[in-house]
Amino acid sequence: MVYTGVLTKMQTEFLDPIQYYLVFENDFIHMNQLINKTIEMKFVGHQCLSCGLNKPIYRQGFCKSCFFDKPVAGDWIMRPELSTAHLNKEDRDLEYEKKVQLQPHIVYLANSSNVKVGVTRKSQVPTRWIDQGAHEAIEIVEVPNRYLAGITEVALKDHVADKTNWRKMLRNDNADEDLIEWRQRLKPYIPNEVKDYFIDNNTETHLNFPVEHYPEKPKSLNIEKQMTYSGTLAGIKGQYLIFQDNTVFNVRGNEGLVVELNI
Ligand SMILES: [Zn+2]
């Protein structure tokens, strides 16, 4: 079967193991069923996730002009502490920013290759953890808007990592950590205006990814450059397809690319 479509991050279902779906305009592909099967991928072109034009992708699936103009790509997305909707202050489109920023947000600790702090909308738990390839995670703070979550993350960054090492994550080179203990250790550094939102009574969430074989030396596939690739799928972790020859493909990192899959 040949499927053609624009890549967007895989949809997921929090089951044991996690289920992954690649969604094209006219097709819905259950990726777990392709493990141990050969997939051939061809680069076809670009389609910006915002304007839909065939223009080079700049970042996050957007062409350069959409990335710098559209409300969905504001700086506060990557840097939640820059959120201003709670002050009624517009960045690019106040109505959109209010809708996204003024809703419950979670500050969490996740362990994918090391323990890191992160921010997400409450509605994105546990999706965010799945996308990061975390095998364990815990909520530490629940706040009513994105700004409060952002300043908490900034305050905690001095005491815990805020990045994942994707190579380590894909090698499954990780240790189990006691995230409840980490939460207690970080508690004193939570900003004063957030202290009342501390969560101290929940437990770790554990995630199990569908991987038959982890790569020893993950090699990232650049399909735009290579144009075509063929390999046997060995598993999926985070938003990465892992192939048996150690090739890995970051689906989320390639949003906006049009590809043809021959399965
Ligand atoms: Zn665009």
Does residue 11 sit within a domain?
yes
Number of domains forming the structure of the chain: 2
- Give me the domain span that covers residue 152: 103-206
Q: Are 32 and 20 in contact (CB under 8 A)?
A: yes
* 115-121 sheet: strands from edge to edge: 115-121, 105-111, 136-143, 205-206
Neighbours of ion ligand 1 (CB under 5 A): 48, 50-51, 63, 66
Does residue 84 sit within a domain?
no
Amino acid 10 reads: M
Question: Final residue of a domain: which of 159, 186, 206?
Answer: 206
Does residue 234 sit within a domain?
yes
* Å from CA of 60 to ligand 1 middle: 11
* Å from CA of 66 to ligand 1 middle: 4
Q: Mark whether 164 and 239 lie in a shared domain.
A: no
pLDDT score for 175:
87
Does residue 73 sit within a domain?
no
Q: Output the tens digit of pLDDT for each of the chain's 263 residues.
A: 999 999 999 999 999 999 999 999 999 999 999 999 999 999 999 999 999 999 999 999 999 999 999 999 999 999 999 999 999 999 999 999 999 999 999 999 999 999 999 999 999 999 999 999 999 999 999 999 999 999 999 999 999 999 989 999 999 988 899 999 999 999 999 999 999 999 988 999 999 999 999 999 999 999 999 999 999 999 999 999 999 999 999 999 999 999 999 99
Q: Mark whether 185 and 221 lie in a shared domain.
A: no
Q: Mark whether 169 and 129 lie in a shared domain.
A: yes
Q: Are 240 and 209 in contact (CB under 8 A)?
A: no
* Å from CA of 55 to ligand 1 middle: 7
Q: Mark whether 107 and 202 lie in a shared domain.
A: yes
